[in-house]
Amino acid sequence: MAENNKTIFRPDYAPHPGELLEEQLETLKISAREFSRRCGRSPKLITEILSGKAALEPETALQFERVLDIEANIWLRMEAEYRLSLARKEDMTRLSADIQWAKSFPLIELKRRGAIESPESDTDAVRKLLQFFGLASAAACREHFSTLSLSYRHSPTYRTEENALFAWLRLGELEAAKFPAKEYDRNAFLRALSTIRSLTTSTVDEFIPRMTNLCADAGVAFIVLRPLNGLALSGISRWLTPRKALIQQTVRHMADDHFWFTFFHEAAHILLHSRKSVFVDGHKIATSNPVEEQEANKWAASYLVPPAALQEFISRNVFTLQSVRKFAKEIGIAPGIVVGQLQKREVIPYSNLNQLKQKFQWMTD
């Protein structure tokens, strides 16, 4: 995570208390052996403190305070800063082993979005990536990623890079954290979906804020987040906590029929399926549950366009701009959604009636 553009000073060198002690002994013309006698400590301990090998404990700091008239907190602060600097050096050595791992993530895009600050080095890029994920090590990241039960819809054409997906999921988590923490209410969510269906004929500027508020009131965060490079998916649904769900969409296809079907497909997963899985609408990277995907597809299609009404319309065998517009108005849905279902059922070719689909421009650069 970006650190709000604040500069953090981390000096490369921190003196250990032994350096200050050596200066004091030289000034006072006291030998290390004599000083150990005055403190009531062994000469070996004082020698090791002088060399930085032994840590300076609070009891010893109090003894130094009485003998040298330098407050114990100064000695202890020097000790803590010195040990921390050693730990940072060791940590940077460990992080350097994960440079190639970090480079497999879209670091440039994450920096451009303000998710991470510009790394000072390859090793610093590892550190900043770990801060972004809120995890302490690459091993912890791998373990965390392995615990995500991912369920994918199959797309034979595109490939999603898994690390781009994990980064995009994290961006969604951070964005969702900004939403008021309301508990999920299934009945409230069903009521919200009914209202949201009526918004399909509205403009983007109208329906996005209303969808966001309606979902939030039911305990579901709804987020539209531009995809990262290497991400070929339309949306996901997941449970951030047992009482807070998330629907996260990319609007990759830029058409209203795809947007609305994706949203209601993910809503179906929240309503019908396990709270332990992350349902990803995109390329099949892991083993999916075809039954759950089919259930979500069927629920979304039926919720948007009642099957009986659609079948009756299809039986008329008249598929013109006027007839589709009239039918869509009768069932209170955007005509582009009707076109999408007719194409999916192969009632009409994919090249027909696309002028009825609303094309979104608000996500373009």
Listed in sequence order, the residues at least 6 apart from 254 whose beta carbon sits closer than 8 Å to its beta carbon are 359, 360, 361, 363, 364
**Residue 55 burial (10 A CB sphere; 0-12, 13-18, 19+):** middle
Distance CA 266, CA 272 (A): 10
Q: What is the pLDDT of residue 6?
A: 42
Q: What is the pLDDT of residue 13?
A: 73
Does the structure show a pLDDT above 80 at 287? Answer: no
Q: What is the pLDDT of residue 137?
A: 96
Distance CA 18, CA 53 (A): 9
Instruction: Enter the tokens of residue 16.
Output: 């250990």
Does the structure show a pLDDT above 80 at 9? Answer: no
Convert the pLDDT of each residue in 85-105 to its tens digit: 999 999 999 999 999 999 999
Average pLDDT, the chain: 89
Q: What is the pLDDT of residue 162?
A: 87
Strand 244-249, strand 233-241: pairing: antiparallel
Domain coordinates in residue numbering, the chain: 17-90, 99-145, 148-304, 307-356
Q: What is the pLDDT of residue 360?
A: 82
Listed in sequence order, the residues at least 6 apart from 365 whose beta carbon sits closer than 8 Å to its beta carbon are none
Domain covering 17-90: architecture: Orthogonal Bundle (1.10)
Q: How many residues does the chain have?
A: 365
Does the structure show a pLDDT above 60 at 159? Answer: no
Distance CA 337, CA 358 (A): 9
Question: What percentage of the chain exceeds 90 in pLDDT?
Answer: 77
Convert the pLDDT of each residue in 28-70 to its tens digit: 999 999 999 999 999 999 999 999 999 999 999 999 999 999 9
